[in-house]
Amino acid sequence: MAIHNLRVVSERATPLLQVDGVSLEYRTPERIVRATHRVSFDVHAGDRFVLLGPSGCGKSTLLKAVAGFVPPSEGEIRLEGRRVLQPGPDRIVVFQEFDQLPPWQTVAQNVMFPLRQARKLSRAEARELALDSLHKVGLAGFADAYPHTLSGGMKQRVAIARALAMRPKVLLMDEPFAALDALTRRRMQEELLALWDDAAFTLLFVTHSIEEALVVGSRILLLSPHPGRVRAELNSHQFSLASQGGAEFQAAAQRIHTLLFDEPAAEAAPRARSAAGR
């Protein structure tokens, strides 16, 4: 089947987030390693934008750079036209780890804490917002429970509620469902999409799963193996959880696999010439 619906996304005006020619590096005891090389992309308000690529392509490092934790060695990141120089409450991260909730605080207190610290809300205002967010993720009945009594999936739902309660301009999610079992992962994907339908927040989501990228994302940026370079940017808004198993969905997944892992001719040719000369 022809993959006519996988196409390069056309430009739209006024991006919310701009990543412009960003290279990221980190230092090891032996050398400086380049994680990404001159990566550029735009995220618009209301996008579910997915960074997809194999392990080691720099997608999580890119997310941390957008969050303000990692400074680019080249290029810049702009949010609403202003350069990102440090972390801020306009960009909230949900990590993969379950144990990102302080165990001495109840579920409600975990959600309330950043509201009181960053947004300077009163205790009553923070609790009202916290309970509203917990209701949206189906955990209002666990507001006074402690994290150690929750399952891994429930802890992730608390982390999502805490992030959404802050009303960030961009919600950043770093492989948040990767450690969950298959059934819980599917349920979390359903809940995330339902939350997006309700609030239409802007999402930047990292995954190494092609199927998850197609389900969660409305747009997908494909990154090459280390160091991460842009391979393609594709539309995927036509797919949903109900699409899985269908011929069009499977053909799209195979096309993305080919784009990610088949060596482009432009890169392969110099290597072939070099091999011929040996």
11 confidence band (pLDDT: 50, 70, 90)? low
d(CA 82, CA 154): 35
Least confident of 129-133, 169-173, 177-181, 207-211: 177-181
Average pLDDT over residues 84-92: 93
pLDDT-derived band at 216, boundaries 50, 70, 90: very high
Place of tokens 């001719």: 265
Q: Can you say whether residue 74 is alpha, beta or left, with left for phi > 0 and alpha for psi between -120 and 50 degrees?
A: beta
Whether 203 shows a pLDDT value over 80: the answer reads yes
Pairing of strands 48-52, 91-94: unpaired
Question: 127-135: long-range contacts at Cβ-Cβ below 8 A with a sequence spacing of 24 or more?
Answer: 129/165, 130/161, 130/165, 132/165, 133/161, 133/162, 133/164, 133/165, 134/107, 134/108, 134/158, 134/161
Tens-place pLDDT, residues 62-77: 999 999 999 999 999 9
Strands in 82-83's sheet, in edge-to-edge order, are: 32-43, 17-27, 74-79, 82-83
Give the number of residues written for the chain: 278
What is the mean predicted confidence (pLDDT) over 51-61?
A: 91
Q: Which residues lie below 8 Å from residue 233, measured CB to CB, with a gap of 6+? A: 8, 9, 41, 219, 220, 221, 222
Q: Which helix (H) or strand (E) holds 152?
A: helix 152-165
Q: How far apart are CA 7 and CA 158, in angstroms?
A: 36
Average predicted confidence (pLDDT) for the chain: 86
Domains of the chain: 15-89+168-259 (3.40.50.300), 100-166 (no CATH)
Query: Residue 114: pLDDT above 50?
Result: yes
Per-residue buried b or exposed e for 133-144, using 16+ beta carbons within 10 Å of the residue's own CB: bbebbebbebbe
pLDDT of residue 98: 65
pLDDT at 95 exceeding the cut of 90: no
Q: What would the two tokens of residue 122 be?
A: 């009163």
Q: Which of 10-19, 43-52, 83-92, 100-109 has the lowest mean pLDDT?
A: 10-19
